[in-house]
A and B are shown apart, each in its own frame.
Chain A
């Protein structure tokens, strides 16, 4: 059972436009959310994160929005650039029981292609 879902395996966007990547989660115990970007032949790199006490976090061209009631988060990239073409993974973490360790649960990824 996938607790973190990225339902769009791929997304194509024109350069300069906005890219919106979506992620849904099922476990309400998740309290911290992250986005990672992965280029071919490289490991994922951390992009941006958000705590469950916030509903928005912005870093340059990247903004993450969190809707806790809908258990949904999204990553907005504005403006999109060809160098943004990569696989984007959504991840969530939380503590599910007293004494248990935090761990990251990843979605299956969305391949973003920014067309010049």
Chain B
């Protein structure tokens, strides 16, 4: 089975721009979660989608949004980028919502200049 894929792997943007990141889960997995990883902060939960519905959301501003499509692929959007948004964005999939064992993609490294 192919693993979780994320595109693009690297991205450079400037302040004020917006960005869209994409995640394709493992085949058969219907839940997709997004995390932000910054040095010293570990993985901060952004949101989880299951069957095209957001079922859980972390403590991030409204500039961070996401969606899930009928084929379980998910996108994450960040508008009005700030320098502090520079991070590794990780997507994880699982068979069901609320499943603790999640399978992570390699991440998208976003740099905001």
Chain A contacts to B: CB under 8 angstroms:
2, 4, 6, 9, 32, 34, 36, 41-46, 49, 89, 91, 93, 101-109
Determine whether the beta carbon of A44 is less than 8 Å from that of B100. no
Determine whether the beta carbon of A101 is less than 8 Å from that of B42. no
Chain B nearest CB from A50 CB (Å) reads 11
Name the B residues within 8 Å of A104 (CB-CB): 33, 43, 45, 100, 102
Instruction: Determine the residue in chain B with the shortest Cβ distance to A102.
Output: B98
B55 on interface, CB distance cutoff 8 Å: yes
Task: Point out the residue from B42, B92, B102, B104 that lies within 8 Å of A107, measured CB to CB.
Answer: B42
Determine whether the beta carbon of A103 is less than 8 Å from that of B4. no
B19 on interface, CB distance cutoff 8 Å: no
Q: A89-B42, A101-B48 are in contact. Are A43 and B100 (CB under 8 A)?
A: no
Determine whether the beta carbon of A43 is less than 8 Å from that of B45. no
What are 27 A-B contacts defined by CB distance under 8 Å? A2-B42, A9-B40, A36-B104, A42-B106, A43-B4, A43-B104, A43-B106, A44-B104, A46-B101, A49-B100, A89-B42, A91-B43, A93-B100, A101-B48, A101-B55, A101-B97, A101-B98, A103-B45, A103-B48, A103-B56, A103-B58, A104-B43, A105-B45, A106-B35, A106-B43, A107-B42, A108-B41
